[in-house]
Amino acid sequence: MLEVADVDLHYGAAQALWRVSLKAEPGKVSAVMGRNGVCKTSLLRAIVGEQAISGGEIRFDGKILGKLPPHDRARLGIAYVPQGRDIFPLLSVKENLETGFAPLPRSERNIPSYIFDLFPVLSGMLRRRGGDLSGGQQQQLAIARALVTRPKLLVLDEPTEGIQPSIIKDIGRAIEWLRDQGTIAILLVEQYFDFVHELADTFAVMDRGEVVLAGTRADMDADKVRRHLTV
């Protein structure tokens, strides 16, 4: 579904990514780990089209994305849940979910019922403003809004950050269910090792803009990974 091949990325004269390669496949969770400041978010911004790459290529569903802008990537089936959630605080929960209709044809502009099975708390809050929700509820709303777009690739940037343990478990169960449907590729950026170890099928660890460790969950050496997650 997604193939990142030897990608470089610059901010002016400063190079942020150095020949980064990874894949995300339907029915699997691909995790990217690393401490703060190693350019994990820059990689995601390149994938969703918010930042142009300066070398290598990104393919999605067999197509080279090139300079395709974010809204066109969304229409292809790439959904992004950014770090910090970026919900609309003055819109209701229902209106936030409906913003996910933008890349869809009119015939598909509805909220799939399974979203409320994954995040039942949202069904009782449809009229509440997004800004009135707790941080964990806002994170569930942000993921639900992305799922409204019927993505082929779901990109999650640190979904457990600042979230209470009970909601982290809910988010983990939702990711597991989505993976098991076999139709969505999930790319997860995360620092919480136990969360990744439980969910990821493949992983890559970044340091200073490069992938320094990669493999399957069975290959994951906890001590080596943890060394790259601590400051």
Give the model confidence (pLDDT) of 72-109 as tens digits. 999 999 999 998 888 999 999 999 999 999 999 999 99
Q: CA 112, CA 110: separation in Å to the nearest integer?
A: 6
Per-residue pLDDT, 231:
57
User: What's the chain's average pLDDT?
Assistant: 93
Residues 118-140: tens digit of each pLDDT: 999 999 999 999 999 999 999 99
Residue 224: band (very low, low, confident or very high) from pLDDT cuts 50, 70, 90: confident
The predicted model scores a pTM of 0.93
Please give the backbone phi and psi of residue 121, each rounded to the nearest 5 degrees, phi first.
-60, -30
Segment 196-207 shows an average pLDDT of 92
Residue-wise pLDDT for 16-58, tens only, equals 999 999 999 999 999 999 988 899 999 999 999 999 999 999 9
pLDDT for the residue 220: 82
